[in-house]
Structure 1
Amino acid sequence: MSGIVIVGAGQAGASLAAKLRALGYTGPVTLIGEEPVPPYQRPPLSKAYLLGEMELERLYLRAPAFWADQNVTLRLGARATAIDPAARTITVDGEALPYDQLALTTGSRPRTLPAAIGGALGNVFTVRTLADIDRMAPLMRDGGRAVIVGGGYIGLEAAAVAAKLGLKVTVIEAAPRILQRVASPETSAYFRALHAAHGVTILEGTGLDRLLGETHVTGARLSDGREIPADLVIVGIGILPNSELAEAAGLAIENGIRTDEQGRTSDPHIWAAGDCASFPHLGGRIRLESVGNAIDQAELVAENMLGAGKAYEAKPWFWSDQYDCKLQIAGLNMGYDRIVTRPGEAGATSFWYYQGDRLLAVDAMNDSRAYMIGKRLIEAGKSPAPAVIADPATDLKALLKA
């Protein structure tokens, strides 16, 4: 029996393997990961781990003994290079492994700066892997100078950690405002003010001409000709789905590996979940880059690999930690045309996204109550009137019963 092979040992791959065993699957399970360490959490890497507040062992999704106890074969530091759908084999480090079913949880990778503008210089980092953070950590010291390229959540989280560690931080954002692609002007303004209060310089509407230095980065020249000194540069300009392995095997690709509502690819024996997978959603097709999606989608795929036949219904949620602010996001704000601001207690606030009278999403800053109720309202398809949400006297919990 060839069993199930899972390519990608991140959150989705680990969740899928564990779920298969929890569901009683007794056949062989092989989990293949390119990194030489067991499956681990990524979100704390650039926050608690980089700050020295979390040890390596606490990053692991499961104790290393779990995989042996569950009879899951870990192939770490291993690279899958080709799939032969007809033979049902996958080549890993030159060896052809047979499979009955294959799951692709290959995740995503950060976009990088071109070498022609200095992207290959030393001390230029992306934030994705344990190795990235371990290389970056020695430079994150008091008095250092950090330039962050990109004012999305990854860039802003990196800026917050660098500022907390005592570095002089400058964020460069080519768009007219930070978070422009993912959040409202109100949310952008909130975080712009938060970073300014911690001494971070944010340059919006400012492009990068090139990074300076011969072997290691020494600064950044901006599109307006200014030059900023830098001891390190962190690049946070988005991610790309790792779909090349699937594409080379002839699988359908559409902003990632295209799947049906159950997580099956265009090959009936191959499935996909997590950052790399695009799936049907509300009459369209989306790809979600979040821990919540990686877990939920992977666990559903595990069920469907065993014959459940369930459709995936995404319930999007995200979060970002910056300084003492915890941002929690429920829903997807695509297509919003109105923002309703709701003040909370002790400086908390939330922004509610509407399209006409329909509630789409909520950004809650240090307001877990607004987040939880907003999430439940969205999932239930309920849309309280904007004026009701804006009224501080409204009992949000009562809206769930309306």
Structure 2
Amino acid sequence: MKQKSFRLLRNLSFIFTLLNISVSAQIGAPKILNDVRSFEVTACAPFNNNIVAAWMEKRPERKDNSEDAADMRIAYKSSVDNGRTWNEKGIIDMPDTFGNGNPFVTSSRKGAVYLVCMHIGTDFYSGNISLYEFNFKLKKFVLKSVPIKSTDHLLDKPAIVCNGKEIHLVYISYPKRDKNSVKYLYSKDDGLTWSEPMDVFTNGTGSYLGPSITVLDNKQVAVSVGSYGFNKEIYFVKKKMDTDKAVFETPVSVAKITREQGAAMSELYSDGSRLVLSWQNPHQRSEIWMAVSRDSGSSWNSPQQIIKFGNLFSGVFDTKGNLHCIYSDFADDRFSVSYKQFDEKNNLIKHGYVKESAPLPAFNEYLGAFQKLLITNYELNAFWIDYPDDHTLKLTNWKIN
């Protein structure tokens, strides 16, 4: 058996060398960012050496190994030395509520940091989406505004992006008995006041899942969204620029959801004209796919399957146009966090491990929706969750080469 394994590894090494793919073992030594059971993590780098990270973690009363989304709160930390050291943890929670979730952080070009999250009320169909701004002197998030609240809709997976003094927000609105919809609203005064929510899709299918939002290099807002159901669409759509009204162009279908995925949420990252759009089944281990555009979404490469049994993909471009990504692999009752790098033609050129494969024989816990990979000062910062190590949140940092 050992001889066969050695032969397989030797053959794989030969194949990777032939394809000019650099393969490395585990990258660097991880640091523990949070030792309370964590579920998903987001982060941003507002200016040199500064990082703000936020995540979902269990409340003290939450039972472990539960697939429910109840009894969770938002936690966060900040760093002023590129993640070497971190300030004390802060907490965002609303007592006597079902839970809090889907934190998303972003920064403006002036260095302001905002966090948006969902606060679920006494049941799934009540609560609000709140916007917080990070106070760098106090080192804490302070409530700025409540863009939307409801007593009869689930307000799910909010995401925001900044453009000057504007903040653009997208989320999914689930009524109790009708079709869901993708909602968009905006602020023109740094999040103090907000427009009324409007539909991104005027004649929608009502089976949307997991929206994401970005701003392109021409300051045009763009949205991606997934769907429920095999053969349903992964959409990309831009907001029209030649009108004062919030109207969106005809959506583009980037891909269709496979039978194995069954449903997929989207994650969209842009550094201007370059975009990476990924989709995966939320809270389930399944296929991860991605597509890349290098012309502001006017065209997309053929979708690429990243992994067959994983989740929690995050991608980012470097200044050369190379794409770096991390994701979690749950195949064969084991767990690892992989790192891959693709060149400008989307060829795989590097493959390593943020965490090498470890046993994970049982997995009954709630699976979050995202992890985060950042580039700061020519370094990669991977924020990831170590499921075999009691769902500890960790950070691995290494130089781009």
TM superposition score category, shorter chain reference: under 0.3
TM-score normalised by length of structure 2: 0.23
What is the TM-score of this pair, normalised by structure 1? Answer: 0.23
Return the structure number with greater helix share. Answer: 1
User: Which protein has the larger Cα radius of gyration, Structure 1 or Structure 2?
Assistant: 1
User: Of Structure 1 and Structure 2, which has the larger fraction of its residues in strand?
Assistant: 2
